[in-house]
């Protein structure tokens, strides 16, 4: 609910949530940067950030889907994220 709130003045809870989310996204970006092939990050310096953003969006979507219908499979979700990362790296000339 905090992500959907919009007010002239941000609530302390929303501000804290957004700060934590930003920190998590940076941690995921750093992980990708440390684990992607060096050649890929040299050719696409923004790749780690892009993959972190899609991972965050997918994770948030999975969380929302789980709240609506608890039929999601975390292993399948992880496999999709891995496929996305491999496809992104493989698409770099």
Each residue's pLDDT expressed in tens, for the chain with a length of 93 residues: 656 667 777 788 888 988 999 999 999 999 999 999 999 999 999 999 999 999 999 888 888 888 888 777 888 888 988 898 888 888 876
Give the span between the Cα atoms of 14 and 18, in whole angstroms.
6
* pTM score, whole prediction: 0.78
Burial of 88 (0-12, 13-18, 19+ CB in 10 A): middle
Q: Encoding tokens for residue 13?
A: 């809870």
Predicted pLDDT of residue 49: 96
């Amino acid at each position: 609910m905090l992500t959907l709130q919009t007010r002239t003045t941000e609530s302390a809870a929303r501000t804290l949530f957004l700060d934590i989310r930003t920190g998590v996204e940076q941690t995921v970006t750093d992980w990708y940067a440390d684990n992607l092939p060096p050649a890929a990050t040299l050719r696409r310096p923004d790749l780690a950030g892009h993959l972190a953003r899609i991972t965050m969006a997918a994770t948030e979507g999975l969380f929302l889907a789980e709240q609506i219908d608890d039929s999601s499979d975390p292993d399948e979700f992880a496999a999709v994220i891995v496929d996305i990362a491999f496809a992104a790296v493989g698409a770099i000339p």
